[in-house]
A and B are shown apart, each in its own frame.
Chain A
Amino acid sequence: MQEYLLSIRGVCKSFSGVQVLKDVQLDVRPGSVHSLMGENGAGKSTLMKCLFGIYRQDAGEFFLEGKPFNFTDPKHALEHGVSMVHQELNQVVQRTISDNIWLGRYPTKGPFVDERRMRSDTLALFKRLNIHLDPDTPLHQLSVSQRQMVEIAKAISYDAKIIVLDEPTSSLTEHEVDLLFEIIGVLKGQGVGVIYISHKMDEIFKISDDVTVLRDGLYVGTDSVENLTIEKVVNMMVGRDLKDRFPPKINKPGEVHLSVKNVTTKYPPIVRDVSFELRRGEILGISGLVGAGRTELIQSIFGVRTLVTGEISIDGKLVRNRKPTDSIAHGFAYLTEERRETGIYPLADITFNSTIANIRSYRNKAGFLVNKRMDEDADKQIAAMRIKTPSKKEPIRSLSGGNQQKVIIGRWLLTQPDILLLDEPTRGIDVGAKYEIYQLIINLAASGKSVIVISSEMPELIGITNRILVMSNGRMAGIVDTERTSQEEIFHLATKYLSNTREAEV
């Protein structure tokens, strides 16, 4: 164990009875890049949160240079030379670059912050990393990729022995990725251990020394990159045969139902000139990297975003979705990505949560709501979707993620939609419940509803869709036939417009 910079042994963690990590291990050698791979929900982030003391593991040990340790919080980790670049940028955007980089450890001169030193240290750091930015620029004036570079620079500035990079390239341009890899190379030379989390196979094979794969919270295996191929890694990540994870696609796409032409949004994040058609009874997937504009595209169709251009027609008839109420009237339903933030009313019961989108229809002639009809519909939903709950009076918060999601899908079904827009419908749901959601989606399509599914999980898209639209940097990179495509082709399309970020921003 002495030769490893960091060793993770037998880490287990469960949340309210659901085991999300089981007996996970990871060893990082000094001066190496160790990639941590796995689908969303495989447990990568949870493992890192245990490492940084944000969660406390139920069992298992961490060793730093052979000595057992447990960080109490991120500050503690930083003090011991372990830093991390988070996937979602945790920055104070109102403040300047140098304020952000030295936050928590401002250099002082007597009682005052030494601004001059902060500035010169920042410039020195940037020079070393070949970043050309004025340290006094407020972060909100930077692009996402510039902010990401700032965050990476910050992590490096701790002179860390171990740096965790969680999807660091999700919004970087090709040139910036090259720059980052150069930086990683330098760090390796200095004996730093890098834990690299990414979904991009080409990156993994380009810079990794070792690869560890997790699946459903389980440790699958570790191997050095020379012994691996993309196929092997995908197999390790996916595990089972794809066919068993997904219900048979019994839906039969018919004639064109929804037609979207030249959708371009007015405000950033920009969606640029997207056109596609959705057939009746079809399940169309939308794939793309974080920030590619997948959610924005759906929101544009649903009337949440202001359009510069764009025509939407249903069965050949032009409709205008200026606001969500228009869209609902036109038969659309939109399941949001953040279930907890924008989907559920956590303290309200299942009846309320499943009827709220359709509440007007429960009024009697005097304008009062009829509880009996609402209760009946709630019961119907619970039975039809096999929602596991003691009663419809249960606050939705006490249900599991999968069951919450079913209630919300049920809510939209009560509005009798024709076109369902589902944004990450299985996020945060355990594997067993996912199958039921897939079944539900396919059944809906088979019953003649048309469905658009956004997902970051490639196997999921391949498992349940008929076609996949790939977004790249706000534009449509292509539509592929699910039967005839491969993960590589989709990955390739997803990066199609990435190198043009700079032009796109100007």
Chain B
Amino acid sequence: MSNAVARVRRPINAERVKDFLVKNAIYIVILMIILFIIIKEPAFLSVNVFRNILSQSAVRLILAFGVGAIIITQGTDLSLGRMVGFATIISGSLLQRAEYASRFYTDLQPLPIFVPLLIACAVMAFFSAINGWIVANFKIHPFLATLGMSIALYGILSVYFASGDAGGQPIGGFDTRYTDFVIGSTLGIPNLVIYAAIISVIVWVIWNKTTFGKNIYAVGGNPEAAKVSGVNVTKTIILVYVMAGVLYGIGGFLEAARIGSANNGTGTGYELDAIAACVVGGISFSGGIGRVSGAITGVLMFQVISYGMTFIGLDQNLQYIFKGIIIVAAVALDAKKYIKKT
């Protein structure tokens, strides 16, 4: 046996530069776009813009953590958007001002705000656990399992939405305790950013410092190896989905107050933003690879670009085109890293 794999400093040469460029191409492109935005509109570099971008990223980041862990296990989650939507309706319906005209529950007494939060988390954890159970037990591809869940859930949440005393009107008029909790600031820092930061730390600890977290990577990297080493693969997969459900619950709770209203269409398409951010952040669809910092990078980059493109007055449709290209390019470059050369 030779000694520990020596980490020799290789000389910089063309091959290495090319390697670096390929590995980081997507970030280089994104940085160039950002640079372009700044040159075009120097006012982009301001504390205000920075704060806005961070608070807009907060909920997206929490959702990206949920689906990110699922992606690490070689899965995906198309029901994320509906989960979030359901959570916004549940939270919103339980936290309306007493004097608001069209309340969902006319006679509801004000609740402590953590109660709706817990309910939202529990309900999403339940539905997400079903996803996990179906994926792990019936070996159904997560794309299909969660597609089915997404459609069914839309039905379920719409039934709930229509069942309110206000009869299917958008849920608004939130309790100020709720809105202050979510969109207020503490010491000049938006609360949303603080929550996202706390959750980032917790998620980082779970992913990196617990047996469950390490098992997520093992199951995603090589399910067979995990199995013969005695890891309960089924349980790990179900737990990953449960964890995602809890995060969707939190995300939905925050999102309702952030937007200021909720209806049965809230959350539509969020899954794609979250998945795209994960992929751009290097959480690989091939499984077993992905970091918390990657999800953060992915979400922030997307947000900076959307904000920036709007900031310089770029047409919304052009923005879609750019985003689409970035996603596919990110995946293509990610795949290139792992393709075995023959």
A132 touches B3 (CB 8 A): yes
Q: How far is the CB of B58 from chain A (nearest CB, A)?
A: 26
Task: Name which of B77-85, B211-219, B304-312 contacts chain A.
Answer: B211-219
* Most interface-central of A86, A95, A130, A304 (chain B CB within 10 A): A95
B230 touches A75 (CB 8 A): yes
Known: A74-B228, A103-B229, A299-B342. A133 touches B221 (CB 8 A): no
Q: Main SS of chain A's interface residues?
A: loop
Q: Chain A residue with minimal CB distance to B288?
A: A94
**Which of B211, B230, B231 interacts with A113 by CB under 8 Å?**
B211
**Which of B210, B221, B340 interacts with A92 by CB under 8 Å?**
B221
- Interface residue? B163 (CB, 8 A): no
Chain B residues within 8 Å of A304, by CB: 342
Chain B residues within 8 Å of A94, by CB: 217, 221, 288-289
Q: How many of chain A's residues have a CB under 8 angstroms from any CB in B?
A: 43
Known: A91-B222, A104-B226, A104-B229. A137 touches B211 (CB 8 A): no
- Interface residue? B227 (CB, 8 A): yes
- Interface residue? A124 (CB, 8 A): no
- Interface residue? A176 (CB, 8 A): yes
A172-208: CB near B (< 8 Å → 1, else 0) gives: 0001100100000000000000000000000000000
A91 touches B225 (CB 8 A): yes
- Interface residue? A325 (CB, 8 A): no
Q: Chain A residue with minimal CB distance to B287?
A: A94
A137 touches B4 (CB 8 A): yes
Residues 56 to 112 of chain A near chain B (Cβ within 8 Å): 73-75, 78-79, 86, 90-95, 99-100, 103-106, 108, 111-112
Chain A residues within 8 Å of B4, by CB: 132-134, 137
Residues 98 to 116 of chain B near chain A (Cβ within 8 Å): none
- Interface residue? B187 (CB, 8 A): no
Q: Chain B residue with minimal CB distance to A136?
A: B4
Task: Name which of A141-149, A213-221, A254-262 contacts chain B.
Answer: A141-149
Measured CA separation A137–B221 after assembly (Å)? 16
A105 touches B230 (CB 8 A): yes
Chain B residues within 8 Å of A146, by CB: 1
Measured CA separation A104–B217 after assembly (Å)? 12
Q: How far is the CB of B294 from chain A (nearest CB, A)?
A: 13
In addition to A132-B3, A146-B1, 17 A-B residue pairs with Cβ atoms within 8 Å of each other are A73-B227, A75-B229, A78-B230, A90-B224, A90-B225, A92-B222, A93-B222, A94-B221, A95-B217, A103-B226, A103-B230, A111-B210, A137-B4, A141-B5, A267-B340, A304-B342, A305-B342
A residues near B (Cβ < 8 Å) are 73-75, 78-79, 86, 90-95, 99-100, 103-106, 108, 111-113, 115, 130-134, 137, 141-142, 146, 149, 175-176, 179, 266-267, 299, 304-306, 502
